[in-house]
Structure 1
């Protein structure tokens, strides 16, 4: 069901907290199924780029593979939001992960057969396309499983899910590597895990709040017009776009950085532990927004999180030995998802349910879609000059955004202009 302000279900927890969001049965069901599926996804996210780096020793090709996975979010999120707004929602949410499941199984077979890079790229792009078409529908429906007062807790839990699986997936890959499990077998396991989210969606009623769409081609820019009319939304979207492009290339190029800067082989257990340390920090950073900082205005969290991220991104780029990479990677992950969760929470608090499918498509373009562009741009640069200066430039961009995305300062200036 979709909750309105007059239908807030009774519970004894702090509104907007993690425990409040967890009290909704339908939300728990989907969260659990998605968590199991995301564990497989993060196994692939670690194993496949590491495999590409090991086989071709090229940051350029690693960046291209990440583009195949995430690039469709940039290109197809808006068309996906329009289709999701028109199509029967529950069948759509069942079909798309099923497509991802079969393409994941196909990708596992291609890796097993030592197929060329072009074949692997095409299979990964097919998975990315299904994900891009599914994401606006999924992410616009799931927040409606909780009341708006508890939305911050739901977003924090979803972030915890993303980053908990970001820890668990690499740990499983590391253990499987020690047990001589092949990359193709890991990718096959990922394909099977899509069954968990399909089963979860099949068990619940999916809430739908459809947007009133404009006619013709104006549908493609309707979400953009809504965002432009609200300064907070537009500032958050532009900030995340710049941040993803300039500061987040390290996420997709992680195996290249580990190999070139720290002399850490991308298919070694040590690399998996490093990625798990980064993911564990991200898990705690995301959880903190809905627990430790549950009562704090999320606008106050954003500038300090940008600064903390900048400091540890710069330090991460300067490392030349493995031991220090673990605590620095942990802190980097913590500030990364403390920031992303605070921004996402503030973004979703400024929209109506009927607008969610259109505006979340823009968020995916900014957060997910721009990362592979950064990988395509900075992957060849890392191949030529190494990661140090690339990460330093990303740190400078994050420092600038700490000032530019200070929403409270922006609102004070707007109020001053209005009264002058």
Structure 2
């Protein structure tokens, strides 16, 4: 009987050991699968926070990021909460609330600058110096008010460093951006105060327009940086899938905006976990938009951008593949080429570039050219949107240095200019309508 009992125990132990071995093998295999998944897919529910510190092996976990972000909600000023509620925006941290408020406020500031710009442009060639003085005071008051708002935002972030948690570095970067903006705005105010509007009103008006153009450029820069900040937070908190659809499109051009482009990448990678499908991306930067804005005004520039975006939407292929156009910043547009290699994508953007070169935009009775410098790159398996953007911007800058109105490709060995074929494109004239 003892022998039977011992034999039974041995068989039972062997069975348990075999079962445990199978279980451990399954766990290991599942772990390998997760590792493989993570190595290819940084924007899914598994590991979306990699973009917050792309090169760090110690990126915060979702639980840590969310816990620390929620802990800073109490630090959000009541006036911020009221403003965001009015826009149906929910912020999960002080840094996110600050970036959202600054994005909203800089939009209002830009609108006020454009209104003053329009007043100046409505004057004749011999403007009244008294009226110029009134407008100058209005401009100075606007900038002082905007500087105060920036200072309040910087002070709020600085006095709540302990509540920023994982986002303390981002909060510090926001403060640096605000300091740089403040310094440049102060310089502009100083320049304006030195204008002698009484002796030469026409020259004073011209110089005022130049300073306003610089201020509008600063507003655009701040707006874009706030958008980048918000996207960094959304990636870290794995909230890209939660972005409201209406927040994914640009109000001016009706194309995808920066949010929408990020969601396109997110959904593409979520559907292609192993990154087996090829993707290429092109960045188009308008070469002469600043000069156009200085000449015609930012409002006319907006009208022009709306038509430009509409034309880009028409020019992308719709019969095959998965091509999406997005307006990434004020004068930059991105084309996402799904299931397309970099060479085919280069052919597509070259055809677009040559079509734009042959197109004239009739703006207020004058023909305006809109030419672009283009960077192209392939998206590789371990890419993030941040890495892709950096390569595109580098390639685009090489195109600028090479004389503009050309295309540069990065196939993994750095940016290289191309010698494109000459396509048979049809030139056209597009009337830019009043808005």
As a proportion of its length, which structure holds more strand?
2
Higher-Rg member (1/2): 2
TM range (shorter): 0.3 to 0.5
As a proportion of its length, which structure holds more helix?
1
Question: Structure 1 length as normaliser, TM-score?
Answer: 0.34
Question: Structure 2 length as normaliser, TM-score?
Answer: 0.33
